[in-house]
Amino acid sequence: MPLFDARDVLSFPGGNNASDTVIAGINFNLTTLQHWNYTLYSNGTLSNNSNCFLTFESYTPHLLPNGTFLNTTSCYSPLNGLGNRAKPGIALGVFFGLSLVFTMINLRKHGRLFLPSEKRFHAIGRRWQWYWMLWVAGCGMASGFTSVDVDRYYLPEWPLILNSIFWYLMIPSTLAIVWESVRHWGSWQERQLIDPDPFILSQNDKRGRREFYMPLVFYGFGFLHFFMAVPRNWTPISYQRSPSQSLQVAAPQATDGRFKAGAIFLFFAWLTILFSLAHSMHYYTPRPSLLRTLASTPPAFLLTLPLSLTIVAYQFLAAFSFAHSPLNLSASPAIIYSLGWAPIVLIFIIYEVAGYTYPNEDRELIRQRRLRGQELDREMGYNRKPPWWRRLNGNHNLTVQQALARNAQEVSGAPRAADWSAKDDVEMSPLPSKRNAEREVRIDNTPAGRALARHESRREAELDERVREAAMALFTPPVERKKTDIAYLMGDDMDGRGGPGAGTGVAWDECGRSGSTGSVASGTTIVGGEAAGC
């Protein structure tokens, strides 16, 4: 369909003669206009489908006899002021620009590693949510700022197209933000669950297979929506130069089958998010009833899931009703921004606040491990010294021999040496001094130096062997210690299947009381008979 056929065509007004016409008080050669197929339209434009010029006052051009126009103003020029669509667009562009700063802060906070990376849990898994937020913020800035020229252009052209393209790019990307947050929350619950016991969950069961296929299903539906909505001929969307042209050209393009199919695919992607959340809560945070399950759902998901469903619902509304579509130049800005933009803004705010509130996962895992260690220490009756104790009482410059000697004296109860660095209680040859090491480097290139290096290497090997033998003598392996432990041999559960004292070298009576190694347990215990005094 020709570009301007949908508008009212005006006949050229009469001029001084048959080959003259007057437009806005300026004479034009009618023969030249007709030769180049120029047509005058009711919206004050003169066009031949290749060029379009404004003809009303202060923008009226001049025509030369050879068909050249002077002082022309294109129909696609920003002449109008800011309208109801441009002002909210500027505010949204500024919002998404500021969100980049907070998203980068949260990305650095949650993306940093404080523990060695694991093959089962990749570091990029916790960062994808913030990567998608950076992408959506960039699209939001582009779409918001181009809405300025949507209002200012005299006839709609590329600003409306760019505004629409970037908005449609934001839609599946926003659902990807929600998806990654839900998926990673399940992964985080799994990581906390298997940290005390890595073998509590299998990776090859039905749960693991579901978690492998769910991302493929979600991104499959997301890309289907993208391919249905974005890669298309967007030029007909800009054909809204008159109400009749909008109904005949733009409306059928904005409500075609591809937009409808894209909305359906987007709804399936949202259902995948919901299924992923239910799957994670079923396996990692089970609850006996539906109400308790809803109560245990993270508050961020209780807000972002309905908001993302609102985005999907507006996709259906825009695909079936051109009057409420953001592609419609005359659509109400209140509907466009309340249903198409406000849910995205609220999702951003919720996740930025949640990211600021939640701790780094590695640090949280370190804290949980420390708490479990403290609990185990309390169960064993072990009182861990505070951090300042080692700084005040420990010697951090001990050699291997000195550390072994210190441990041996602590076990045997011998008096502690005043200066560990000046005395070796284990009779061993000293390690090569720094001076010897420097001498080796200095004479290494001479025959004598090479011979000395070989001698020193043999000496170090013998020294390491003596250190290992001394360590074996000082610290007997548990299996060997059981063979000579009188309290263990006198115990009832010789096979190690009894009370908690089995295999520890501590005798336990039938009442569960522990006795000291090699001594009679407290209470009255009869070996091989009935226990009294329980």
Let me know whether 160 and 37 are in one domain.
no
Boundaries of domain holding 162: 95-370
**Which residues, other chains included, contact 177 with Cβ-Cβ below 8 Å and sequence gap of 6+?**
129, 132, 133, 136, 347, 351
Give the single-character DSSP code of 125: G
Q: How many CB atoms lie within 10 A of CB 39?
A: 19
Q: Shortest CA distance to 42 belongs to which of 74, 10, 11?
A: 10
| Spatial contact of 307 and 338, defined as CB atoms under 8 Å apart | no
Q: Is the dihedral of CA 377, 383, 386, 387 positive or negative?
A: negative
In total, the chain counts a number of residues equal to 534
**Which of 370, 392, 420 is at the close of a domain?**
370
The whole-number pLDDT of residue 337 equals 94
Which tokens hold the place of 243?
């109400």
Assess if residue 131 is contained within a domain. yes
Q: Shortest CA distance to 5 belongs to which of 37, 35, 45, 49?
A: 49
d(CA 283, CA 1): 58
Let me know whether 140 and 248 are in one domain.
yes
Let me know whether 365 and 305 are in one domain.
yes
Assess if residue 390 is contained within a domain. no
Bridge partners of 52, per DSSP, are 47
| Spatial contact of 38 and 6, defined as CB atoms under 8 Å apart | no
Let me know whether 173 and 24 are in one domain.
no
Let me know whether 306 and 242 are in one domain.
yes
**Which of 36, 70, 104 is at the close of a domain?**
70
The whole-number pLDDT of residue 465 equals 82
Let me know whether 246 and 332 are in one domain.
yes
Let me know whether 141 and 251 are in one domain.
yes
The whole-number pLDDT of residue 166 equals 95
Q: Shortest CA distance to 242 belongs to which of 10, 61, 470?
A: 10
User: What is the pTM (predicted TM-score) of this model?
Assistant: 0.70
Assess if residue 89 is contained within a domain. no
d(CA 266, CA 268): 5
Assess if residue 354 is contained within a domain. yes
Could you report the average pLDDT of every consecutive run of 10 residues in the chain (534 residues)?
50 72 80 84 83 85 83 86 90 96 95 87 90 96 93 90 95 96 92 88 85 94 95 91 87 93 96 94 82 84 95 95 92 92 96 94 92 88 76 70 78 59 46 46 59 77 81 68 58 47 42 40 38 39
Assess if residue 200 is contained within a domain. yes
Let me know whether 159 and 289 are in one domain.
yes
Let me know whether 272 and 352 are in one domain.
yes
The whole-number pLDDT of residue 215 equals 94
Assess if residue 384 is contained within a domain. no
Let me know whether 121 and 194 are in one domain.
yes
Assess if residue 389 is contained within a domain. no
Assess if residue 317 is contained within a domain. yes
Let me know whether 277 and 410 are in one domain.
no
The whole-number pLDDT of residue 175 equals 96
d(CA 150, CA 80): 10
Bridge partners of 54, per DSSP, are 45
**Which of 370, 391, 425 is at the close of a domain?**
370
The whole-number pLDDT of residue 275 equals 94
| Spatial contact of 8 and 41, defined as CB atoms under 8 Å apart | yes
d(CA 222, CA 186): 20
Q: Is the dihedral of CA 113, 116, 118, 119 positive or negative?
A: positive
> Between vectors from CA 89 to CA 86 and to CA 95, what angle results, nearest 5°?
150
Q: Is 21 helix (H, G, I), strand (E, B) or coil?
A: strand
Please count the structural domains in the chain. 4
Let me know whether 321 and 456 are in one domain.
no
